[in-house]
């Protein structure tokens, strides 16, 4: 294989790898956004849950069963 063909092959591989790295980076950025959204939603759900538990009492505040 001539030097010129080897250089062309290496340049082709590099271009493919650059595209792959960019695609992986795009996916990683999107996953970061999704995780951030999910964390915000989870925090909101926890807040709502704690409000409901506060209004109706937690498990520890329930009256004992009638047979006690």
- Map tokens 């209004």 to a residue: 55
- Map tokens 């006690």 to a residue: 68
Euclidean distance between CA atoms 32 and 20, whole angstroms: 18
pLDDT of residue 25: 99
pTM equals 0.66
Residue 10's alpha-carbon distances to 1, 27, 51, in angstroms, are 13, 26, 61
Rg (CA), the chain: 29
Measured in whole angstroms, the distance separating CA 20 from the mean position of its chain's CA atoms is 21
In the predicted structure, residue 19 carries a pLDDT above the cut 80? yes
Residue percentage of the chain with pLDDT more than 90: 76
- Map tokens 């030097």 to a residue: 3
């Amino acid at each position: 294989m001539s030097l010129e063909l080897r250089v062309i092959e290496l340049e082709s591989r590099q271009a493919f790898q650059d595209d792959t790295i960019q695609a992986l980076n795009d996916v990683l950025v999107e996953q970061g956004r999704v995780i951030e959204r999910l964390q915000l939603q989870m925090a909101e759900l926890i807040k709502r849950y704690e409000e409901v538990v506060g209004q109706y009492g937690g498990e520890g505040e329930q009256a004992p069963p009638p047979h006690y």
